[in-house]
């Protein structure tokens, strides 16, 4: 593991705790907003104070990308603490870089996710891809891999990759109903072009999430020769579980609202 100066550790420790608490609180807020589909119209009817309403509207507008960013920061920090800065940086480069590449390919060519276009909700774009998309990949892949290793600590790297890829695909399956219709993360271009856009992904979309999720997970390696399961952080698993819980709640909320 990389050597971190003690002064840096002492300075970072309260910040790390604060970011973790902020993520948990933000997750609770996002769960309420997604489940009940709270937006400007609902706030206008419910809140008479203009300043408070405008503040809440702004928080909702930035809420999704702030939530995803907080989740990625906490995952990355936990990996740096348990596996070392070098491993954390390498993992981020592999998954975020790979996630950006496949998302850009999908936006430019229609493969491997179908003819996808990304909306503004996931932050500023670099080319056709908003920066929240690579962060989603990072959270999903690292969280899925950590979950598999918690459940199957003695599994070989190939089995870990396949299981992690399956969990990544399930995560996208949970996310898709909210990503388009509810939050405007992305949509599919229609064929023919003059038809309305679609929010329903093709089957190959889920296959792509599985294949690339498994590939990225397989490429991740600890620097330690024999990692001890007890030294692994629970945070990536918790973050991964909370994200999927919010996605499922959003789907249930949509069903309840009809």
Give the residue extent of every domain in the chain: 6-257
Alpha carbon dihedral 57, 63, 66, 70, in 10-degree steps, equals 130
pLDDT given for residue 133 in this prediction: 98
pLDDT given for residue 1 in this prediction: 46
Sign of the four-CA dihedral 121, 67, 248, 79: positive
What phi and psi, each to the nearest 5 degrees, are found at residue 113?
Answer: -105, 5
pTM for the full predicted model: 0.92
Q: Are strands 129-130 and 125-126 parallel, antiparallel or unpaired?
A: antiparallel
Give the mean pLDDT per block of 10 residues along the chain (258 residues). Answer: 52 78 98 94 90 94 97 96 92 98 96 93 96 98 97 94 98 94 87 69 96 98 65 92 98 87
């Amino acid at each position: 593991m990389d050597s971190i100066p003690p002064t840096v550790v002492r300075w970072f420790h309260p910040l790390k705790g604060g970011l973790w608490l902020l993520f948990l609180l933000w997750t609770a807020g996002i769960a309420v907003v997604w489940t009940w589909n709270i937006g400007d119209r609902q706030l206008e009817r419910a809140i008479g104070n203009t300043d408070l309403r405008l503040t809440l509207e702004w928080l909702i507008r930035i809420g999704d990308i702030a939530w995803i960013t907080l989740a990625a920061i906490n995952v990355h920090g936990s990996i740096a603490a348990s596996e070392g800065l070098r491993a954390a940086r390498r993992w981020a480069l592999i998954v975020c870089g790979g996630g950006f590449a496949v998302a850009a390919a999908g936006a430019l060519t229609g493969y491997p996710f179908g003819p996808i276009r990304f909306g503004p909700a996931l932050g500023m774009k670099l080319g056709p891809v908003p920066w929240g998309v690579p962060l989603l990949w990072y959270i999903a892949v690292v969280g899925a891999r950590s979950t598999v290793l918690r459940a199957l600590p003695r599994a070989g790297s190939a089995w870990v990759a396949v299981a992690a890829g399956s969990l990544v695909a399930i995560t996208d399956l949970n996310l898709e109903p909210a990503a388009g219709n509810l939050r405007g993360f992305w949509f599919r271009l229609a064929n023919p072009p003059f038809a309305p856009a679609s929010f329903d992904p093709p089957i190959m979309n889920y296959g792509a999430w599985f294949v690339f999720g498994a590939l990225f997970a397989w490429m991740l390696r600890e620097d330690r020769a024999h990692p001890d399961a007890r030294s692994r952080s629970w945070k990536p698993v918790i973050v991964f579980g909370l994200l999927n819980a919010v996605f499922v709640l959003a789907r249930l909320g949509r069903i309840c609202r009809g």
